[in-house]
Structure 1
């Protein structure tokens, strides 16, 4: 059974001839496709539908549509420029907000709630000297919390910056056995 040439394009006159012959001789789609060596009976059926709906002028209209490849179409350049301008504006705004964030925390009361209070500073200094400089920031923070001060390790970093750091060698272990 001959199927014709693949991807063969038929002229509007040929399509008209096929459909009119099929109607006059009352042939089936398969018989018509075999007789005129058309690729498939479905194609003949589609030609008949077009002929009945739009007449012979319907064959002259190009209906070949390509399916989407899955890739979205590019935006027109006018819309793209607007989007690009908005992206640039938002990036600039983001950079500005990043520069404002440290300034906000530095100047706001949230970061210096207890850090600036003289009571906290005095208490840190007292704890530090009571223990002969052996306590680091973690232990001092723990002791402050046990004394009901609301602080964290950053408070010691802010307030206790002028205090000397504990020696790396622990003084009480030095000597005869250390």
Structure 2
């Protein structure tokens, strides 16, 4: 009798433990994907993605996003999806995901699975840096050349202390111009 009672209580305990478990099976459509994004990496990616989006596009609506130009859509996808993913898993694996349709589909599946995570915003200094990089990259993608060199203070570069050949001394400039024309 004791054995039956013990056996039935163990069976009930096992049934109770398995009653409320979630069955996280791997979706069959992503079988044989080149890269499988883990749940932990997906959660870190979603947090980094939300932080980047909150920083670069704080007031973005879905309607605005639907009407992005090609350049804006490219920068949005890079800074909100791929760069945060690259910071989590590395550039080589991101390239692997981008080249394999099943891997990309599974990454999107994982992103949607965890997209409701709450995130804290980036620190102000990081946010300003990220926003400036995104703005500069957008300008380059739109065909506006941006030099990678540090820019000089233009006010200092345009001032000439002696006033020769500037708007301060047009007479001197005119003498040089006419003198060179007569010599030629």
Q: TM-score normalized by structure 2?
A: 0.24
Higher relative contact order (CA 8 A, sep 6+): 2
Q: TM-score normalized by structure 1?
A: 0.24
Q: Which has the higher helix share?
A: 2
